[in-house]
Every structure is written in structure tokens, then in C-alpha cells.
Structure 1
Amino acid sequence: MASKKQYGLVGRNISYSFSKAYFAEKFERENYKNHTYENFDIQEIFEFPGILKNNPDLKGLNVTIPYKEVVIPFLDKMSKNALKIGAVNTIKFTSSGKTKGYNTDFYGFKKSLQPILKPHHQKALILGTGGASKAVAYALRLLGITYIFASREASEKTITYEQIHASTFEEYQIIINCTPLGTSPNVEVCPAIPYQYFSEKHIAYDLIYNPEETLFLKKAKENGAVTKNGHEMLVFQAEKAWKIWNK
């Protein structure tokens, strides 16, 4: 009998997760026997070692909000990209039983953004400063796009939401929502920015995929912006994770 291969997602309140349904369907479609994918819903990161201890058949994990950064001290090794980004969303278990952190978010984001870029898309405004925003920033650097973060508090590389005005929209042609604001079931909220300054010159990109069109995307689209949600990014990052786990 073939040995069991277990995969899973580590996060908090992840019953909505894309990953579990995606991989369950993939395993069935591609006839991977004895492969399972489970949600490991934990309230605090210190519960993470228990997942490893109680699941000896684990071959790979995905990591989501809010653990992409705080999981790092629990890992044995890191890939170069994950080290540069400072966030992990994929963990591989090596043949010697060691854990190695990777980041496939930046790959998924980069691959999904590229087809809608035009020559005038030179600068990006990233809403949020969590682990996902770090991967987005890294991808933008690889694409040669300069960026600034927006957050509740200002710093050297960050402006506050109150500082976003018409001139901000003139300077930054790509606006990316890396916050969880607008995720189902809380679909009536969105980042507090002046949406009236979006135009057909802008790309509004939301990492959220549920709902398909967030309030952020809806309001940007009403003002002419090209919009894209995070679904394609998730598919690209999931397939990249699968390759890492099986290489």
C-alpha cells in the first residue's frame, strides 16, 4: 500500500479557505491516492509544533493570516526569497525531517499582475503592511515598479490613509489591497481611501478572492479602473507550492 501523504493549511479562522477545496479537487482530478489536505486552525502560533508532532505524515504546509511572519522562528531553514521577503506561506518537509520555509505568494502575484500592466503603470500604493504586503512589494521590485505602503501609522516607507489624496492617485497608478477588509462575510467594508480619484489609468488589485468582487474593486471599477481579484494569484501560488513539496 502506498504511503500516506498529508498536506495542510495553518491559519486562524480558515474554514473559508481556498486551499483545502483546491487541493482536494486536484488530488481527485489527477488521481493522487492516499493524499489528504487539512485545515489546521490554531488560535496562537505556539500551537504550531503540536501540528508537526501529531501529524507524522506531513509533506507540506501552506501558511495564511496571521502566521506568515511569526511562523519563521519555528522553521529549520528558509529559501532565499522567503528570507528577503520576511514572510512564509509554504513549508516543505525535507527527507531528513527538517522544515524549510518558502514564499510562493510573490510568484503568484507577479504572474497574475503582469498581463494587465501597461507602460504607464510605474508606481504602486500597497494598502496594508502584513506578510502578504511584503510578498507583493518583493514582486513589484522584481517588476521594476516602485511602491509605498499605506497603513494606520506613518513611517519612513509608509503613509497614513488620511494622507491619500488626488495627488496620490496621480502618482500611483496601481492600488493593491493587502488588508483583509471586505472579505466574506464582512463584505460591506473596504479600505478608507478616496475612490473618486480612480480612473481608467489605474489598476485596482485586491488579494481577496471571496467575494469575487469586493467593495474595494466595485468602487474602483465604477470610476473606470481595471480590476482584478486574488483568485488567479492563489492558483499560481498553490501550484508553485505543489512543485516545491514534490521536488
Structure 2
Amino acid sequence: MNINSKTSIYGIIGHPIGHSLSPLIHNYAFENLDFNSVYVSFDVNEEDLKDAIIGIKALGIKGLNVTVPHKESVIKYLDRISDEAKLIGAVNTIKNNSGSLEGYNTDVTGFMESLKEHNVDVVGKNAVILGAGGAAKAVAVGLALLGAKSIYVCNRSIDKAKELSIHMENNFNIKSLGISYNDLNMLDEIDILINATSVGMHPNVDVSPIGEDVVAKAKFVYDIIYNPEKTLFLSYAEKYRIKYINGLDMLINQAIDSFKIWTGANFDKKIILNFLKKKDFVK
């Protein structure tokens, strides 16, 4: 990669950020398409978020991805957000359009596409989402758009869980209820169980958001975490021979959409997957 004065800068902001595979994905895509661009990680604390967003314009950064914990709080610093980002209430992609910062959400399409790729039928199913943050919002909207029957939103803050469930019922033809982690013990079975929290993410790989007794009730388990490849949460699913997937496909799918928003171009998912396999990030 030949970086010079004409190199376009893209990146990702979050805290923590060291686990992210996004720099590998986008830099390889830039290299493969012969773009004079580079993608870097910015570890941004919550109290520094406003200054970081102002810096996008000052430094001429072309685009950013946004990850935890900034997907919701970043919205107030942007000039405009897309319709799907408004509906979800979270942004994971920012485009600097000649000094105007535009917010998008590609998590929802990335999540939906990953379910389709793994032949997971959502129609008429009951789902439980762990978490109520920006990623959980995208997951909830994706499930609703794919025809889920109901969604339980489970969160440490019951108020946030109820807020998301009310949002879902107000905007979609779906039943939704905000519950606590203790309430999970009252459910007899779960069609779809999704971890949309960061619990179990590298380097804290020895924890799970819930115990294996709850996971055992599920028919399908999804963890949006992709590093490690198999979280403790997913290990519970494997123990009980429950079909499961991690967040790698969602990550790459949303990256494809972000890349197109920024550049107007597509990159080949198969090429990226083969690259990650060679780098030993995909088994």
C-alpha cells in the first residue's frame, strides 16, 4: 500500500476497538480494487465522541464505521441520517459528503442477509434478543422485517428493554415485550436466541450473557460477536446440538454495504473470506 497526500482515509470508531476485523476487511478490499485509500481504527472514549466527529470534517476523513458504545449517541452530531437509521435509532456508517456528515445503518441489512445465507426461517417465530443498544435495535428491526411473530427484549436496564419493545410495537406489526434476565427462566422454549451485547467478546472470552440452562431452551442461537469465533455463549449451543452462527457474516455483509455507500463500489465477499482464512481469523 502506497500512502501519499492523495490517499483517502476511512476508519472505525468505538471503545474498545482492538478486536475489530474491519481494518483487515476494508484495507484488503481497497488493495484488491486498487483504490488509493486506507482504513484505520480510532479508539474513542464516550466523552471524546463529539470532538472526534468534528474532527472528521477538519481532517477530511471520507467515512467511518461506528461500533459500541457510540451507535446511538453519535446521531446528534451528524448533519442528516437515512430513513433506516431513523427507524432503528442507531448509526453504524458515516459518510462525509463534501463536509456534510450522513449517517446510515448497514447492520440491519447485514444481519438479515446472514440469516438468509444460513437458511434460517424467521417467519412466525418467537425471538429473544439479549441487549437493547444500537446493535440490538438493528437486530430487532431485521427480525420484524423478516416476519418474526414476537420479540422479547432482555436487558440489564429494564427501562431500555421496554423502550425498545414499545418502539417495535409502534413501528411494526409485531408483539414485543421488555424483560429482565431473571424473566428468561420463565420461558419454556425459544425459537431464536440472539446475543446483541458485547459480553463474551475478546479479550473477556470466559463469560456469557446468560447461563447454559437458558441457551438449552433455544432452537437456534446467534451471537453477533465474531471475535472469538466461538464464544462461551455459542459453546453452550454446541453442547446441546443447537444450530448456531456467529457474527462474522453479519460483519462482512454490513461492511459490503458501508463500502458501497462510501465508494459506490462492491467488493467480493468470497475474496474477503478467503483472505481472513489465510490470516487465520476464520477456521
TM exceeding 0.5? yes
Q: 1:197 to 1:7 in 2, by over 3 A?
A: closer
Q: Tell me by how many angstroms 1:38 deviates.
A: 1.1
Partner of 1:158: 178
Give the secondary structure class of the aligned counterpart of 2:187: helix
Partner of 1:135: 138
* Match runs of 1:10-49 below 5 Å: 10-32=13-35, 34-44=36-46, 45-49=49-53
Q: Distance in 2 between the 1:202 and 1:109 partners?
A: 18
Work out whether residues 94 and 101 of structure 2, in 8 Å CA contact, stay in contact via their aligned partners in 1: yes
Q: 1:169 to 1:98 in 2, by over 3 A?
A: farther
Q: 1:197 to 1:216 in 2, by over 3 A?
A: closer
Pair 1:246 & 2:266 matched: no
Q: Distance in 2 between the 1:47 and 1:113 partners?
A: 37
Partner of 2:187: 168
Q: Tell me by how many angstroms 1:127 deviates.
A: 0.3
Partner of 1:183: 201
Pair 1:5 & 2:8 matched: yes
Q: Distance in 2 between the 1:130 and 1:54 partners?
A: 29
Pair 1:148 & 2:152 matched: yes
Partner of 1:209: 226
From 84, 104, 107, give the equivalent of 2:106.
Answer: 104
Cα RMSD (Å) = 2.0
Q: Tell me by how many angstroms 1:218 deviates.
A: 0.5
* Match runs of 1:68-83 below 5 Å: 68-83=71-86
Work out whether residues 201 and 231 of structure 2, in 8 Å CA contact, stay in contact via their aligned partners in 1: yes
Q: Which AA in structure 2 matches 1:236? A: N
- Equivalent residue pairs, number: 241
Work out whether residues 104 and 237 of structure 1, in 8 Å CA contact, stay in contact via their aligned partners in 2: yes
Work out whether residues 57 and 99 of structure 2, in 8 Å CA contact, stay in contact via their aligned partners in 1: no
Work out whether residues 153 and 159 of structure 1, in 8 Å CA contact, stay in contact via their aligned partners in 2: no
Q: 1:50 to 1:2 in 2, by over 3 A?
A: closer
Deviations for 1:145-194, whole angstroms, at most 9, x for unmatched residues? 121101124354311111112x5252x31000011111111111001245
Q: Which AA in structure 1 matches 2:153? A: F
Q: Give 5+ residue unaligned stretches, structure 2.
A: 163-176, 265-283
Calculate the TM-score normalised by the size of structure 2. Answer: 0.80
Q: Distance in 2 between the 1:119 and 1:21 partners?
A: 31
Q: Distance in 2 between the 1:214 and 1:110 partners?
A: 21
Q: Tell me by how many angstroms 1:220 deviates.
A: 1.4
From 50, 55, 66, give the equivalent of 1:51.
Answer: 55
Work out whether residues 169 and 198 of structure 1, in 8 Å CA contact, stay in contact via their aligned partners in 2: no
More helix by share: 2
Q: Distance in 1 between the 2:123 and 2:86 partners?
A: 31
The percentage of aligned residue pairs carrying the same residue is 41
Work out whether residues 121 and 173 of structure 1, in 8 Å CA contact, stay in contact via their aligned partners in 2: no
Q: Tell me by how many angstroms 1:28 deviates.
A: 1.7
Calculate the TM-score normalised by the size of structure 1. Answer: 0.91
Deviations for 1:22-65, whole angstroms, at most 9, x for unmatched residues? 11111222222x20111121112233234314422x21110000
